[in-house]
Amino acid sequence: MNLHHLEHFLALVETGSFSRASEALHLTQPALSRSIQMLEQELGVRLIDRIGKRNELTPFGVLVAERARKIVSDSVDLKHTAQLLVQGDGGTVRLGLGSAPNAMFAGPLLSYMLRDYPHVGIHLSTGSPEAQLAALRERTFDALLVHSRAIAPQEDLHVQLLGSVQSGFLCRRGHPLSKRRKVEFADLMQYPVVGTMLSDEISRELVQRFGPDAHPAHLLRASSDSVAALIETVLTTDAVFFGVIATARAWLNSGDISVVPLDLPEAASAQYAFITLEGRTQSPVLETVRQFCFDLALGESKQSPVSR
């Protein structure tokens, strides 16, 4: 069976018009008509009823269109697989990240890839989970790195969990809370708290430990998807940041900010997931990216929040 005939048939199905399909395929209408007729002859069934100026799929046409989409998709994947084998450690990796994973992983990952894999293109993008999932399915992204609860499990997704990383409260150097050996929740509430939006799990843990005032509706004075913007606010005001401690690693290492010594529940942590399409061949270098992210998350999970 000629793959081009199936592609021509699908173009006609999607456009609903011989003229529009011909234009999209850069074929003449007579050439497209012959291609559809040859497919019908090969299958031995009529695929399209031509009713006046309208073209309607026959019951056989509906079934063939469904099967043809899978065949064409598999052929595209086969070509992609062959390209990956030729590329080896080359090519390009496109990764979609959530806001917190972007703050934690983007800098170290870019440095690692540019240093150790200089011939690999690496493109990182942020956005809403819905938009990123759509981009993954459209092959705009090769993988997603998001909070494990951001995207519900689905049959076409392959989800690999990374290690849990601890959350905490952070303040600037010289902040009144930074001089305390131990801080109570009431002390913390004397200052504005900022952060990214909190997951339901962490919200429940905070309310259970500290009471209703720890609910995000009361706790967060300001929120943003940009961790860098939140940290900048902390550096220039008395605001306290709440979020994944590892997202502020550079500022912690420089001593510009420190962890507020408030006793938090162990469950106040975040777990990230590396998501790809199930059953799809991935480039060898994408596995390198996944392993780096896994190792980074594992290293952060082993660090003591107090020692940070």
Domains and CATH numbers, the chain: 3-87 (1.10.10.10), 92-303 (3.40.190.290)
**What percentage of the chain carries pLDDT values higher than 70?**
94
pLDDT at 127 over 80: yes
Q: Give percent of the chain above pLDDT 90.
A: 51
Tell me the per-residue pLDDT of 29-52, one tens digit each, with 9 for 90 and over: 999 999 999 999 999 999 988 877
Distance of CA 42 to the CA centre of its chain: 43
According to the model, what pLDDT value does residue 308 have? 38
Would you place residue 190 in the very low, low, confident or very high pLDDT band (cuts 50, 70, 90)?
very high
- In Å, what is the CA distance from 190 to each residue of 175, 193, 196, 256, 307? 12, 9, 20, 21, 24
Name, of 51-55, 106-110, 137-141, 300-304, the range with top average pLDDT: 106-110
pLDDT class of 22 with cuts at 50, 70, 90: very high
Q: Which two tokens stand for residue 144?
A: 């997603």
Which spans in 88-175 are helix H?
99-116, 129-137
Please return the burial class of 303, using the count of CB atoms within 10 Å of its CB with bins 0-12, 13-18 and 19+: middle
Give the integer Cα–Cα distance in Å for 158 and 137. 12
Mean pLDDT, rounded, of the chain: 88
The helix/strand/coil state of 276 is strand
- Alpha-carbon 91 to chain mean position: 20
Map tokens 């689905």 to a residue: 154
- What are the tokens at 46? 């009529």
Q: Cα dist. 65→4, 34, 41, 58 in Å?
A: 13, 18, 16, 10
Q: In the prediction, which pLDDT does 307 show?
A: 39
State residue 166's pLDDT score.
86
Residue 281 has pLDDT above 50, yes or no: yes
Which spans in 117-226 are helix H? 129-137, 185-188, 200-210, 216-219
